[in-house]
């Protein structure tokens, strides 16, 4: 088993990564002081529940834990205020008190939703994450929890750190291929922003990663999580540095919003967004060849890098204006300097962004 | 002008109390570094807007601030998730960014709602309170913000400290008599839990307070706020000590919930609750005469101390079980030791609580 410690002072917590962890869930909860007197809330979705809920339940029941369960519909549509209210209702009816905790069994959507419930139920109770996707390795570090507003993604949320993260690699075996690739998008992103060697490692081990080889996956998740933890430790509340984690996210979020949250997986959207950031870097005269290098890495992981035709340019621009990264009237982008290093560039003109979108649609650096 | 500093490390903030402050609002915002580039959101209600919104707008416009406005319906029903979502929509459409702030112009409901919006918009932006009720002197200290769930009050919320509180006593002149009394309930509560002299001062100056004499009111608010600030400074996240502020709130919240949030003002409900806590103190053999002393203070401020007949006992008990103070299966009460001192007593049997409710209905200590 691998353990990564996220250092955040009194809010520090460990991420346990390994095989066979879910059947031992209760032991980890006891180790971390979870109350057996107070009821807990498990939040999961209708795709994960049939696969892994029984394993978690048996472990908890065997140790005398009491709990209620909220099973939400799989997918981004569950990150809504109405589903949030339903989960709150389950928590209240289940009698959760201040010593209770919310356990997220699932991917990023379940983690974000359950985390926002934990952050705001009785003004904040304990939160435990049990990720079942590769993508969730990203959201399990940093305490960013949120639901979507119909006008913009992740607009309603909080910073709420988990008590612990239990990452059972066995739960990844049932992931559809498309979700594997989408999850690896965030993994390679961590290399692209801060660790050149790791970015190339992801490309070199792409086939093992895509086949969910436990060794490669264990190492990749450990390294991805550790890079993110390093950034978050230095900037818990996203005052500055932490924004580098948003590489590919300005365009990526717009793609998700215009596509209607569901057409694109988050990892697919930010993959196109990272290709866009590489084009932007070249347009700004930063490091020739970044676009080719970046897209080679992304395509090795079977990720999309071309903006689909049916996403209207004006709609994408409008969505970017609503994004949290649109600050005081100017567009802010995370732009690569080279593979493994990025800068935050403010005051990007809207006309340049439109040019990049046009190039991105053609699949590369062309005159448009 | 009187200034109380709430000491919370890097989250410390001042409360300015005085006459004629609202027309100078912009100067205070500038002093506290509010951005004139980013738009802000004013949240107020339909009773306060006609009285004070123009004053605030003129001040802000004069200084070049940009803002959008959300006017909600007056009353507890606006502390709902659906109103919260509407206010969020206004914030997003108004283009609020991370340098924006939410300004609450109103009483406790507006403060709680606007504060929860500020706590969760983009995972937290600045919050400024401009209270227009006496009751809000309580909620303006401590950073507890929340909305209600249909099943229980304040169940959905956060801790989010304001940047500053601007308390213009002139806005209190238009308060209906019933709201004046209800506001004074929290003021005398601060005396009852921690300052015997101030509790008796409230009783002795009851007629001046009820007539909104500026000197008496200014001193009362300053002292009430200072007592609360002292408690909150020692226990920002309600780990222990802070619970003493809940004197009268276990029964009080149940009265509000069963009455349907609207029949009773919060101050009226906790006044009956404080009478109940005094009865409980005597039933537990703590300080003879507390009930008579407490109710004399409350009635001097024209507050109710008798539980109305139409509130069903079983419903009240059920509501208490859903309250946040119902912890791991036992009832927890804040119980007076004497005037000016309280203890937190755990494991209060439900049968005793039922006895107290029966006595409270009869208006005193009688065999039931």
DSSP structure string for A256-324 = HHHHTSSSS-HHHHHHHHHHHHHHHHHHTT--TTHHHHHHHHHHHTT---S--TTS-HHHHHHHHHHST
| Residues from chain B contacting residue A326 (CB–CB below 8 Å) | 97
CA distance B73 to B75: 6
**For position B239, what pLDDT does the model report?**
72
With CA atoms as reference, the chain A residue closest to B36 would be A328
CA distance B336 to B340: 8
pLDDT at residue B342 is higher than 60:
yes
Q: Which of A99-108, A136-145, B36-45 has the lowest mean pLDDT?
A: A136-145
Place domain B177-362 in its CATH homologous superfamily.
Dehydroquinate synthase-like - alpha domain (1.20.1090.10)
pLDDT at residue A287 is higher than 80:
no
Mutate to test the interface with A, among B89, B120, B127 (most CBs of A within 10 A): B120
- Residues B180 and B208: beta-carbon distance below 8 Å: no
Alpha helices in chain A (DSSP H): 25-31, 54-62, 81-93, 108-120, 136-139, 177-194, 196-204, 206-210, 214-234, 249-259, 266-283, 290-300, 313-322, 350-362
pLDDT band at B271 (very low <50, low <70, confident <90, very high): very high
CA distance B327 to B324: 7
Positive or negative torsion for Cα B257, B263, B268, B272: negative
Give the gap in angstroms from C-alpha B324 to the nearest C-alpha of chain A: 6
pLDDT band at A236 (very low <50, low <70, confident <90, very high): confident
Residues in chain A, overall count: 368
- Residues A102 and A233: beta-carbon distance below 8 Å: no
pLDDT band at A368 (very low <50, low <70, confident <90, very high): very low
CA distance B349 to B12: 39
Render pLDDT for A16-74 as a digit per residue (tens, 0 to 9). 999 999 999 999 999 999 999 999 999 999 999 999 999 999 999 999 999 999 999 99
pLDDT band at B142 (very low <50, low <70, confident <90, very high): confident
Interchain pair A328, B88: CB under 8 A? no
Residue A326 in 3-state DSSP? strand
Average pLDDT over residues B355-361: 95
**For position B255, what pLDDT does the model report?**
95
pLDDT at residue A325 is higher than 90:
no
**For position B234, what pLDDT does the model report?**
87
Positive or negative torsion for Cα B352, B356, B357, B358: positive
**In B, what residues contact A, Cβ < 8 A?**
35, 37-38, 81, 84-85, 88-89, 92-93, 95, 97-99, 119-124, 144, 146, 149, 151-152, 155-159, 237-238, 321-322, 324, 326-329
With CA atoms as reference, the chain A residue closest to B239 would be A98
A132 assigned ligand-binding residue? yes
Average pLDDT over residues B181-208: 97
Which phi and psi (to 5°) does residue A266 adopt?
Answer: -55, -45
A89 assigned ligand-binding residue? no
Give the catalytic positions of B in this structure.
Answer: 123, 144, 186, 228, 238, 242, 246, 249, 253, 266
Exposed, middle or buried: residue A65 (CB in 10 Å: 0-12, 13-18, 19+)? Answer: buried
Interchain pair B328, A122: CB under 8 A? no
Interchain pair A151, B123: CB under 8 A? no
**For position B237, what pLDDT does the model report?**
76
Render pLDDT for A63-77 as a digit per residue (tens, 0 to 9). 999 999 999 999 889
- Residues A272 and A253: beta-carbon distance below 8 Å: no
B25 CB-near residues (< 8 Å, 6+ apart): B55, B56, B59, B60, B130, B166
**For position A261, what pLDDT does the model report?**
65
Do β-strands A330-338 and A341-348 pair in parallel, antiparallel, or remain unpaired?
A: antiparallel
Beta bridge partners, B3, equal: B16
Give the gap in angstroms from C-alpha A119 to the nearest C-alpha of chain B: 7
pLDDT at residue A94 is higher than 50:
yes
With CA atoms as reference, the chain B residue closest to A124 would be B158
Element (H, E) at A15: strand A13-18
A60 assigned ligand-binding residue? no
**For position B327, what pLDDT does the model report?**
56
Interchain pair A327, B97: CB under 8 A? yes
Interface pTM, i.e. ipTM: 0.86
Mutate to test the interface with B, among A120, A121, A344 (most CBs of B within 10 A): A120
**For position B363, what pLDDT does the model report?**
84
**For position A260, what pLDDT does the model report?**
76
**For position A184, what pLDDT does the model report?**
97
Task: Estimate to the nearest angstrom the gap between the alpha carbon of A287 and the chain centroid.
Answer: 28
Beta bridge partners, A128, equal: A103, A164
- Residues A257 and A288: beta-carbon distance below 8 Å: no
The domain limits of chain B are 2-174, 177-362
Place of tokens 């919240």: B253
pLDDT at residue B94 is higher than 90:
yes
A181 CB-near residues (< 8 Å, 6+ apart): A210, A267, A268, A301, A302, A303
Average pLDDT over residues A171-183: 94
Is A154 among the catalytic positions?
no
Interchain pair B99, A38: CB under 8 A? no
- Residues A123 and A62: beta-carbon distance below 8 Å: no
Exposed, middle or buried: residue A276 (CB in 10 Å: 0-12, 13-18, 19+)? Answer: buried
A228 CB-near residues (< 8 Å, 6+ apart): A138, A141, A142, A190, A245
Concatenated DSSP letters of B289-314:
THHHHHHHHHHHTT---S--TTS-HH
| Residues from chain A contacting residue B97 (CB–CB below 8 Å) | 324, 326-328
| Residues from chain A contacting residue B151 (CB–CB below 8 Å) | 89, 92-93
**What is the CATH code of the structural domain delimited by A178-362?**
1.20.1090.10
**For position A274, what pLDDT does the model report?**
98
Helices (H) and strands (E) in chain B, counts: 14, 12
Positive or negative torsion for Cα A57, A60, A64, A67: negative
**What is the CATH code of the structural domain delimited by A2-174?**
3.40.50.1970
Q: Which of A90-104, A155-169, A243-257, B312-326 has the lowest mean pLDDT?
A: B312-326
- Residues B320 and B251: beta-carbon distance below 8 Å: yes
Element (H, E) at B322: helix B313-322
Which phi and psi (to 5°) does residue B123 adopt?
Answer: 65, 25
Place of tokens 């356990």: A103
Nearest to A233 by CA among A9, A17, A4, A15: A9
| Sheet hosting strand B2-6, strand order edge to edge | B2-6, B13-18, B164-168, B126-131, B101-106, B40-45, B67-72
A233 CB-near residues (< 8 Å, 6+ apart): A6, A7, A8
Residues in chain B, overall count: 368
pLDDT at residue A367 is higher than 70:
no
CA distance A184 to A138: 10
Exposed, middle or buried: residue B295 (CB in 10 Å: 0-12, 13-18, 19+)? Answer: buried
């Amino acid at each position: 088993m691998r353990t990564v410690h996220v250092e955040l002072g009194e809010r520090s917590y460990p991420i346990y990564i390994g095989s066979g962890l879910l059947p031992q869930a209760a032991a980890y909860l006891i180790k971390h002081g979870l109350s057996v007197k107070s009821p807990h809330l498990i939040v999961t979705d209708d795709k994960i529940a049939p696969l892994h809920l029984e394993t978690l339940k048996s472990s908890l029941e065997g140790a005398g834990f009491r709990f209620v369960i909220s099973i939400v519909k799989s997918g981004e549509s569950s990150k809504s205020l109405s589903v949030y209210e339903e989960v709150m209702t389950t928590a209240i009816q289940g009698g959760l008190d201040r010593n209770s905790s919310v356990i997220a069994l699932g991917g990023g959507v379940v983690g974000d939703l359950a985390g926002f419930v934990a952050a705001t139920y009785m003004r904040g109770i304990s939160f435990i994450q049990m990720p079942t996707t590769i993508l969730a390795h990203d959201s399990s570090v940093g305490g960013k929890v949120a639901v979507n507003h119909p006008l913009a993604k992740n607009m309603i949320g909080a910073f709420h750190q988990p008590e612990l993260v239990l990452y059972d690699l066995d739960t990844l075996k049932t992931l559809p291929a498309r979700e594997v690739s989408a999850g690896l998008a965030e993994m390679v992103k961590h290399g692209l922003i801060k660790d050149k060697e790791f970015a190339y490692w992801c490309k070199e081990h792409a086939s093992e990663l895509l086949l969910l080889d436990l060794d490669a996956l264990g190492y990749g998740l450990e390294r991805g999580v550790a890079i993110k933890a390093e950034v978050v430790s230095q900037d818990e509340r996203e005052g500055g540095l932490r924004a580098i984690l948003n590489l590919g996210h300005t365009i990526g979020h717009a793609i998700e919003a215009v596509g209607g949250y569901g057409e694109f997986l988050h990892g697919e959207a930010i993959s196109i967004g990272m290709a866009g950031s590489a084009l932007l870097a070249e347009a700004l005269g930063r490091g020739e060849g970044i676009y080719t290098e970046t897209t080679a890495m992304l395509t090795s992981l079977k990720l999309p890098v071309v903006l689909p035709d049916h996403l209207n340019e004006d709609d994408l621009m409008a969505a970017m204006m609503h994004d949290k990264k649109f600050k005081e009237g100017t567009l802010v982008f995370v732009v690569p300097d080279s593979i493994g290093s990025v800068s935050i560039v403010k005051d990007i003109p809207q006309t340049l962004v439109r040019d990049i979108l046009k190039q991105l649609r053609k699949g590369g650096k062309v005159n448009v």
